[in-house]
């Protein structure tokens, strides 16, 4: 079972990596769309911004949320527990000893 979880974790990490990369790239494209709208100005700029906001942004947000959930699932299936608080011993510097 542990071996299966590790393989599944690897597959999910790969999907997570590509999915986050796609969502970041799409977010960058929306930024350049907004910059182009600022340069163009007028009613055309308003139409471009409305199109980006209503069609692209929700898809990017949903994609990013799904990818984060896949990343968390991959992390916990792989045995990595990074989001839990951990008490560490305080180390003193040489001058404090």
Q: Model-level pTM?
A: 0.71
Helix (H) or strand (E) holding 48: helix 42-51
Tally of residues, the chain: 97
Q: CA–CA distance from 69 to each of 36, 56, 59, 79 (Å)?
A: 33, 20, 16, 16
Model confidence over 5-49: pLDDT tens digits?
888 888 888 999 999 999 999 999 999 999 999 999 899 999 999
**Sign of the CA dihedral with 33 first, then 35, 37, and 40 last:** negative
């Amino acid at each position: 079972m542990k071996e299966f979880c590790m393989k599944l974790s690897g597959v999910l990490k790969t999907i997570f990596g590509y999915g986050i990369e796609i969502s970041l790239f799409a977010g960058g494209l929306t930024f350049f769309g907004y910059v182009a709208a600022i340069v163009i100005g007028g009613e055309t700029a308003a139409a471009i911004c409305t199109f980006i906001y209503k069609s692209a942004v929700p898809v990017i947000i949903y994609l990013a949320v799904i990818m984060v959930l896949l990343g968390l699932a991959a992390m916990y299936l792989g045995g990595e527990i990074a989001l839990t608080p951990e008490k560490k011993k305080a180390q003193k510097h040489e001058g404090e000893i």
